[in-house]
Chain A
Amino acid sequence: MIELTHITKEYGKRKSLNDVTFTFEKGKVYGILGPNGSGKSTIMKMMAGLVYPSKGIVKVGEKKADRKIASNLAFLASEGMLYPSFKIDQMIDFFHSQYSDFSMEKAEELLVFMELDRHQKVSQLSKGQQGRLKLLLVLSRQTDVLLLDEPFMGLDPMVRDTIVKGLVSFIDYGKQTVIITTHEITEIEPVLEEAIVLEKGQIRAHCNVEEIREEQGLSILEWLKSTFKQEDVS
Protein backbone atom coordinates (compact mmCIF):
# COMPACT_ATOMS: atom_id res chain seq x y z
CA MET A 1 0.00 0.00 0.00
CA ILE A 2 1.21 3.49 -0.84
CA GLU A 3 -0.28 6.49 0.92
CA LEU A 4 0.03 10.05 -0.29
CA THR A 5 -1.25 12.50 2.30
CA HIS A 6 -1.69 16.15 1.30
CA ILE A 7 1.49 16.24 -0.72
CA THR A 8 2.65 19.40 -2.42
CA LYS A 9 5.84 19.87 -4.39
CA GLU A 10 7.09 23.30 -5.24
CA TYR A 11 9.87 24.04 -7.69
CA GLY A 12 10.46 27.71 -7.01
CA LYS A 13 7.08 29.36 -7.42
CA ARG A 14 5.63 26.61 -9.60
CA LYS A 15 3.65 23.88 -7.91
CA SER A 16 4.31 20.56 -9.60
CA LEU A 17 1.91 18.81 -7.22
CA ASN A 18 -0.76 20.60 -5.27
CA ASP A 19 -2.28 18.98 -2.17
CA VAL A 20 -2.63 15.43 -3.51
CA THR A 21 -4.12 12.75 -1.28
CA PHE A 22 -4.44 9.21 -2.60
CA THR A 23 -4.01 5.58 -1.51
CA PHE A 24 -2.70 2.92 -3.89
CA GLU A 25 -3.93 -0.45 -2.71
CA LYS A 26 -1.71 -3.50 -2.52
CA GLY A 27 -1.73 -5.84 -5.49
CA LYS A 28 -3.49 -3.60 -7.98
CA VAL A 29 -2.36 -2.21 -11.33
CA TYR A 30 -2.79 1.57 -11.68
CA GLY A 31 -2.36 3.88 -14.61
CA ILE A 32 -1.52 7.53 -14.06
CA LEU A 33 -2.61 9.49 -17.10
CA GLY A 34 -2.33 13.15 -17.89
CA PRO A 35 -0.75 15.71 -20.19
CA ASN A 36 2.92 16.69 -20.08
CA GLY A 37 3.74 18.78 -17.03
CA SER A 38 0.80 17.48 -15.03
CA GLY A 39 3.06 16.12 -12.28
CA LYS A 40 3.17 12.44 -13.31
CA SER A 41 6.92 12.05 -13.08
CA THR A 42 7.14 14.05 -9.86
CA ILE A 43 4.65 11.74 -8.15
CA MET A 44 6.64 8.70 -9.31
CA LYS A 45 9.98 10.07 -8.15
CA MET A 46 8.40 10.92 -4.83
CA MET A 47 7.13 7.38 -4.29
CA ALA A 48 10.57 6.10 -5.28
CA GLY A 49 12.06 8.31 -2.58
CA LEU A 50 14.14 10.32 -5.06
CA VAL A 51 12.28 13.60 -4.55
CA TYR A 52 10.89 14.81 -1.25
CA PRO A 53 7.57 16.63 -0.90
CA SER A 54 7.57 20.29 0.13
CA LYS A 55 4.53 19.48 2.28
CA GLY A 56 2.78 16.27 3.21
CA ILE A 57 3.80 12.65 3.71
CA VAL A 58 4.50 9.78 1.31
CA LYS A 59 4.38 6.33 2.87
CA VAL A 60 5.29 3.10 1.10
CA GLY A 61 4.14 0.14 3.15
CA GLU A 62 4.54 1.46 6.66
CA LYS A 63 7.70 3.40 5.89
CA LYS A 64 8.20 6.97 4.91
CA ALA A 65 9.56 7.15 1.37
CA ASP A 66 13.24 8.00 1.24
CA ARG A 67 16.34 6.76 -0.60
CA LYS A 68 16.32 3.49 1.35
CA ILE A 69 12.85 2.63 0.06
CA ALA A 70 14.48 1.39 -3.14
CA SER A 71 15.24 -1.87 -1.39
CA ASN A 72 11.62 -2.87 -1.73
CA LEU A 73 10.63 -0.93 -4.81
CA ALA A 74 11.64 -1.20 -8.45
CA PHE A 75 11.59 1.99 -10.48
CA LEU A 76 11.77 2.22 -14.26
CA ALA A 77 12.85 5.81 -14.80
CA SER A 78 12.11 7.53 -18.10
CA GLU A 79 15.74 8.63 -18.31
CA GLY A 80 19.19 7.69 -17.15
CA MET A 81 18.89 4.09 -16.04
CA LEU A 82 21.46 2.51 -18.34
CA TYR A 83 25.23 2.92 -18.61
CA PRO A 84 26.22 3.32 -22.29
CA SER A 85 29.61 1.64 -21.92
CA PHE A 86 28.19 -1.50 -20.31
CA LYS A 87 27.21 -4.65 -22.15
CA ILE A 88 23.73 -6.06 -21.44
CA ASP A 89 25.09 -8.82 -19.20
CA GLN A 90 27.20 -6.29 -17.29
CA MET A 91 24.06 -4.22 -16.71
CA ILE A 92 22.35 -7.35 -15.38
CA ASP A 93 25.32 -8.22 -13.14
CA PHE A 94 25.36 -4.67 -11.83
CA PHE A 95 21.70 -4.79 -10.86
CA HIS A 96 22.23 -8.22 -9.33
CA SER A 97 25.04 -6.80 -7.18
CA GLN A 98 22.93 -3.82 -6.07
CA TYR A 99 19.64 -5.52 -5.21
CA SER A 100 19.39 -8.65 -3.11
CA ASP A 101 15.92 -9.37 -4.54
CA PHE A 102 17.23 -9.47 -8.13
CA SER A 103 16.55 -12.91 -9.62
CA MET A 104 19.10 -14.09 -12.19
CA GLU A 105 16.66 -16.82 -13.20
CA LYS A 106 13.99 -14.28 -14.06
CA ALA A 107 16.58 -12.15 -15.88
CA GLU A 108 17.54 -15.15 -18.05
CA GLU A 109 13.87 -15.82 -18.87
CA LEU A 110 13.37 -12.17 -19.73
CA LEU A 111 16.47 -12.10 -21.98
CA VAL A 112 14.81 -14.74 -24.13
CA PHE A 113 11.38 -13.15 -23.94
CA MET A 114 12.66 -9.67 -24.86
CA GLU A 115 14.94 -11.10 -27.58
CA LEU A 116 18.03 -9.36 -26.30
CA ASP A 117 21.62 -10.37 -26.98
CA ARG A 118 23.61 -10.33 -23.75
CA HIS A 119 26.87 -9.41 -25.49
CA GLN A 120 25.58 -6.21 -27.03
CA LYS A 121 26.70 -2.87 -25.68
CA VAL A 122 24.07 -0.48 -24.31
CA SER A 123 25.34 2.34 -26.55
CA GLN A 124 24.70 0.18 -29.62
CA LEU A 125 21.12 -0.70 -28.71
CA SER A 126 18.14 0.77 -30.52
CA LYS A 127 15.58 2.71 -28.52
CA GLY A 128 13.27 -0.27 -28.54
CA GLN A 129 16.01 -2.58 -27.24
CA GLN A 130 16.87 -0.09 -24.51
CA GLY A 131 13.21 0.07 -23.48
CA ARG A 132 13.09 -3.72 -23.30
CA LEU A 133 16.33 -3.90 -21.32
CA LYS A 134 15.03 -1.38 -18.79
CA LEU A 135 11.90 -3.45 -18.30
CA LEU A 136 14.00 -6.60 -17.95
CA LEU A 137 16.00 -4.97 -15.17
CA VAL A 138 12.99 -3.92 -13.11
CA LEU A 139 10.90 -7.05 -13.73
CA SER A 140 13.77 -9.29 -12.59
CA ARG A 141 13.44 -7.87 -9.11
CA GLN A 142 10.95 -9.30 -6.63
CA THR A 143 9.57 -6.21 -4.98
CA ASP A 144 6.22 -5.24 -3.46
CA VAL A 145 6.06 -2.12 -5.58
CA LEU A 146 6.84 -1.62 -9.26
CA LEU A 147 6.88 1.92 -10.68
CA LEU A 148 7.09 2.39 -14.44
CA ASP A 149 7.54 5.95 -15.63
CA GLU A 150 6.66 6.24 -19.33
CA PRO A 151 7.72 2.71 -20.30
CA PHE A 152 6.48 3.22 -23.89
CA MET A 153 8.04 6.59 -24.63
CA GLY A 154 9.51 6.73 -28.11
CA LEU A 155 8.83 3.07 -28.86
CA ASP A 156 7.12 1.68 -31.95
CA PRO A 157 3.83 -0.29 -31.72
CA MET A 158 5.50 -3.71 -32.03
CA VAL A 159 7.85 -3.02 -29.12
CA ARG A 160 4.99 -1.56 -27.10
CA ASP A 161 3.08 -4.78 -27.66
CA THR A 162 6.04 -6.85 -26.46
CA ILE A 163 6.28 -4.69 -23.37
CA VAL A 164 2.59 -5.11 -22.56
CA LYS A 165 2.95 -8.89 -22.97
CA GLY A 166 6.06 -8.80 -20.77
CA LEU A 167 4.12 -7.01 -18.07
CA VAL A 168 1.25 -9.49 -18.19
CA SER A 169 3.67 -12.42 -18.08
CA PHE A 170 6.03 -11.23 -15.37
CA ILE A 171 4.06 -9.07 -12.92
CA ASP A 172 3.18 -10.83 -9.67
CA TYR A 173 -0.55 -10.02 -9.69
CA GLY A 174 -2.29 -9.61 -6.36
CA LYS A 175 1.06 -9.19 -4.61
CA GLN A 176 2.85 -6.45 -6.51
CA THR A 177 1.43 -2.96 -6.62
CA VAL A 178 2.15 -1.65 -10.10
CA ILE A 179 1.90 2.00 -11.09
CA ILE A 180 2.42 3.05 -14.71
CA THR A 181 2.48 6.56 -16.16
CA THR A 182 1.82 6.80 -19.87
CA HIS A 183 0.29 8.55 -22.85
CA GLU A 184 -0.26 5.27 -24.70
CA ILE A 185 -3.55 4.50 -23.03
CA THR A 186 -5.05 2.17 -25.61
CA GLU A 187 -2.22 -0.35 -25.41
CA ILE A 188 -2.02 -0.51 -21.66
CA GLU A 189 -5.73 -0.36 -20.87
CA PRO A 190 -6.42 -4.13 -20.77
CA VAL A 191 -3.70 -4.48 -18.12
CA LEU A 192 -4.93 -1.70 -15.84
CA GLU A 193 -7.46 -2.02 -13.07
CA GLU A 194 -7.63 1.59 -11.99
CA ALA A 195 -6.88 4.82 -13.78
CA ILE A 196 -6.07 8.22 -12.32
CA VAL A 197 -6.03 11.44 -14.26
CA LEU A 198 -3.58 14.13 -13.19
CA GLU A 199 -3.83 17.67 -14.38
CA LYS A 200 -1.93 20.72 -13.18
CA GLY A 201 -0.64 18.87 -10.14
CA GLN A 202 -4.00 17.61 -8.95
CA ILE A 203 -6.00 14.41 -9.29
CA ARG A 204 -8.88 15.26 -11.57
CA ALA A 205 -10.52 11.86 -11.79
CA HIS A 206 -10.15 8.29 -10.63
CA CYS A 207 -11.98 5.27 -12.03
CA ASN A 208 -12.14 1.51 -12.29
CA VAL A 209 -11.41 0.58 -15.91
CA GLU A 210 -13.99 -2.20 -16.36
CA GLU A 211 -16.70 -0.21 -14.58
CA ILE A 212 -16.34 2.62 -17.07
CA ARG A 213 -16.93 0.18 -19.92
CA GLU A 214 -19.81 -1.52 -18.16
CA GLU A 215 -21.65 1.56 -17.00
CA GLN A 216 -20.82 4.07 -19.70
CA GLY A 217 -19.67 1.93 -22.62
CA LEU A 218 -16.45 3.93 -22.87
CA SER A 219 -12.80 3.03 -23.15
CA ILE A 220 -10.46 4.94 -20.88
CA LEU A 221 -9.36 7.16 -23.73
CA GLU A 222 -12.97 8.09 -24.55
CA TRP A 223 -13.76 8.57 -20.89
CA LEU A 224 -10.76 10.84 -20.56
CA LYS A 225 -11.91 12.95 -23.48
CA SER A 226 -15.49 13.17 -22.21
CA THR A 227 -14.32 14.09 -18.71
CA PHE A 228 -12.20 16.92 -20.00
CA LYS A 229 -14.87 18.14 -22.43
CA GLN A 230 -17.54 18.39 -19.73
CA GLU A 231 -15.24 20.41 -17.54
CA ASP A 232 -14.43 22.79 -20.37
CA VAL A 233 -18.09 23.52 -21.01
CA SER A 234 -19.02 24.23 -17.40
Chain B
Amino acid sequence: MSAEFKTSKPIYSQIADRIIQQFVRGELSPGEKLPSVREMAIQSGVNPNTIQRTYGELERLGVVETKRGQGTFMTEENDMKRKLRLDIQQEMIAAFIENMRSIGLEDREIHESVNRFLKEGESGHD
Protein backbone atom coordinates (compact mmCIF):
# COMPACT_ATOMS: atom_id res chain seq x y z
CA MET B 1 0.00 0.00 0.00
CA SER B 2 1.24 3.49 -0.71
CA ALA B 3 1.97 5.59 2.34
CA GLU B 4 -0.50 8.19 3.50
CA PHE B 5 0.45 11.83 3.47
CA LYS B 6 -0.48 14.69 5.76
CA THR B 7 -2.20 17.61 4.12
CA SER B 8 -0.28 20.28 6.01
CA LYS B 9 2.96 19.84 4.10
CA PRO B 10 4.00 19.31 0.48
CA ILE B 11 4.45 15.63 -0.36
CA TYR B 12 8.03 16.13 -1.54
CA SER B 13 9.09 17.46 1.85
CA GLN B 14 7.24 14.70 3.75
CA ILE B 15 9.24 12.11 1.82
CA ALA B 16 12.43 14.09 2.56
CA ASP B 17 11.55 14.04 6.28
CA ARG B 18 11.05 10.29 6.11
CA ILE B 19 14.46 9.74 4.53
CA ILE B 20 16.13 11.95 7.15
CA GLN B 21 14.43 10.01 9.95
CA GLN B 22 15.53 6.69 8.50
CA PHE B 23 19.08 8.03 8.32
CA VAL B 24 19.04 9.24 11.91
CA ARG B 25 17.61 5.92 13.14
CA GLY B 26 20.37 4.09 11.30
CA GLU B 27 18.05 2.36 8.82
CA LEU B 28 20.01 4.14 6.09
CA SER B 29 23.80 4.19 6.42
CA PRO B 30 26.22 6.93 5.36
CA GLY B 31 27.18 6.41 1.73
CA GLU B 32 24.24 4.08 1.07
CA LYS B 33 22.66 4.30 -2.37
CA LEU B 34 19.06 5.47 -2.45
CA PRO B 35 16.51 3.93 -4.86
CA SER B 36 16.34 5.61 -8.27
CA VAL B 37 13.75 8.35 -8.72
CA ARG B 38 11.51 5.92 -10.54
CA GLU B 39 11.82 3.14 -7.95
CA MET B 40 11.23 5.55 -5.10
CA ALA B 41 8.17 6.96 -6.89
CA ILE B 42 6.70 3.48 -7.25
CA GLN B 43 7.44 2.58 -3.61
CA SER B 44 5.79 5.76 -2.38
CA GLY B 45 2.98 5.83 -4.97
CA VAL B 46 3.77 9.38 -6.07
CA ASN B 47 4.67 11.24 -9.24
CA PRO B 48 8.42 10.89 -10.08
CA ASN B 49 8.68 14.68 -10.36
CA THR B 50 7.87 14.81 -6.65
CA ILE B 51 10.81 12.49 -5.86
CA GLN B 52 13.04 14.57 -8.11
CA ARG B 53 12.19 17.51 -5.90
CA THR B 54 12.73 15.49 -2.71
CA TYR B 55 16.23 14.49 -3.83
CA GLY B 56 16.96 18.06 -4.93
CA GLU B 57 15.94 19.38 -1.54
CA LEU B 58 18.00 16.75 0.32
CA GLU B 59 20.99 17.61 -1.83
CA ARG B 60 20.58 21.30 -1.00
CA LEU B 61 20.59 20.37 2.69
CA GLY B 62 23.73 18.29 2.20
CA VAL B 63 22.01 15.07 3.27
CA VAL B 64 22.49 13.29 -0.05
CA GLU B 65 24.93 13.51 -2.92
CA THR B 66 24.10 12.88 -6.54
CA LYS B 67 26.88 11.25 -8.50
CA ARG B 68 26.54 11.61 -12.23
CA GLY B 69 25.43 8.43 -13.89
CA GLN B 70 25.53 6.49 -10.62
CA GLY B 71 22.61 7.74 -8.61
CA THR B 72 21.86 9.39 -5.30
CA PHE B 73 23.77 8.47 -2.13
CA MET B 74 23.45 9.34 1.56
CA THR B 75 26.18 11.72 2.62
CA GLU B 76 29.36 10.35 4.21
CA GLU B 77 30.07 13.55 6.04
CA ASN B 78 30.59 12.55 9.68
CA ASP B 79 28.86 15.42 11.34
CA MET B 80 25.64 15.29 9.31
CA LYS B 81 23.87 12.58 11.29
CA ARG B 82 24.54 14.33 14.59
CA LYS B 83 23.35 17.63 13.14
CA LEU B 84 20.15 16.10 11.77
CA ARG B 85 19.44 14.36 15.06
CA LEU B 86 19.76 17.71 16.85
CA ASP B 87 17.44 19.35 14.34
CA ILE B 88 14.78 16.69 14.83
CA GLN B 89 15.13 16.94 18.61
CA GLN B 90 14.65 20.69 18.47
CA GLU B 91 11.54 20.32 16.35
CA MET B 92 10.01 17.67 18.61
CA ILE B 93 10.73 19.63 21.77
CA ALA B 94 9.34 22.81 20.29
CA ALA B 95 6.10 21.04 19.34
CA PHE B 96 5.84 19.38 22.78
CA ILE B 97 6.42 22.62 24.70
CA GLU B 98 3.92 24.45 22.55
CA ASN B 99 1.31 21.79 23.26
CA MET B 100 1.96 21.84 27.00
CA ARG B 101 1.75 25.63 27.13
CA SER B 102 -1.44 25.59 25.14
CA ILE B 103 -3.14 23.56 27.88
CA GLY B 104 -2.04 26.20 30.38
CA LEU B 105 1.06 24.68 32.02
CA GLU B 106 3.84 26.87 33.41
CA ASP B 107 7.40 26.06 32.40
CA ARG B 108 8.10 24.91 35.97
CA GLU B 109 5.17 22.47 35.80
CA ILE B 110 6.31 21.14 32.43
CA HIS B 111 9.70 20.51 33.95
CA GLU B 112 8.27 18.64 36.93
CA SER B 113 5.94 16.63 34.79
CA VAL B 114 8.73 15.53 32.42
CA ASN B 115 10.97 14.60 35.35
CA ARG B 116 8.24 12.59 37.03
CA PHE B 117 7.48 10.80 33.77
CA LEU B 118 11.11 9.90 33.17
CA LYS B 119 11.48 8.59 36.74
CA GLU B 120 8.29 6.54 36.89
CA GLY B 121 8.00 5.61 33.26
CA GLU B 122 4.71 5.32 31.47
CA SER B 123 3.44 2.64 33.86
CA GLY B 124 3.56 5.15 36.73
CA HIS B 125 0.45 6.80 35.37
CA ASP B 126 -1.73 3.75 35.28
Contact = CB atoms under 8 A, between A and B. Distances in A.
Contacts of B50: 190, 210
B9 A191 contact: no
Interface residues of A, number: 19
Contacts of A222: 7
A217 interface: yes
Interface in A199-227: 210, 213-214, 217-219, 222
A168 interface: yes
Interface in A156-176: 161, 164-165, 168-169, 173-174
A168 B47 CA distance: 6
Contact of A210 (B8, B12, B45): B12
A106 to B, nearest CB: 15
Main secondary structure of the interface of A (DSSP, over half): helix
A192 B5 CA distance: 14
Nearest to A221: B7
B41 interface: yes
Nearest to B9: A213
A210 B2 contact: no
A173 B46 CA distance: 12
Interface in B29-85: 41-42, 44-50, 53
B11 interface: yes
Contacts of B8: 213, 217
Contacts, number: 51
Contacts of B49: 173-174, 193
Contact of B45 (A168, A213, A214): A168
Interface in A9-37: 29
A218 B55 CA distance: 23
B7 A218 contact: yes
Contact of B47 (A29, A161, A213): A29
A81 to B, nearest CB: 25
B55 to A, nearest CB: 15
A165 B5 CA distance: 16
B4 to A, nearest CB: 9
Interface of B: 1-2, 5, 7-12, 41-42, 44-50, 53
Given A173-B49, A191-B46, 20 more contacts: A161-B1, A161-B2, A161-B45, A165-B2, A165-B42, A168-B41, A168-B42, A168-B45, A173-B47, A174-B49, A190-B45, A210-B10, A210-B53, A213-B8, A213-B9, A213-B10, A217-B8, A217-B9, A218-B7, A222-B7
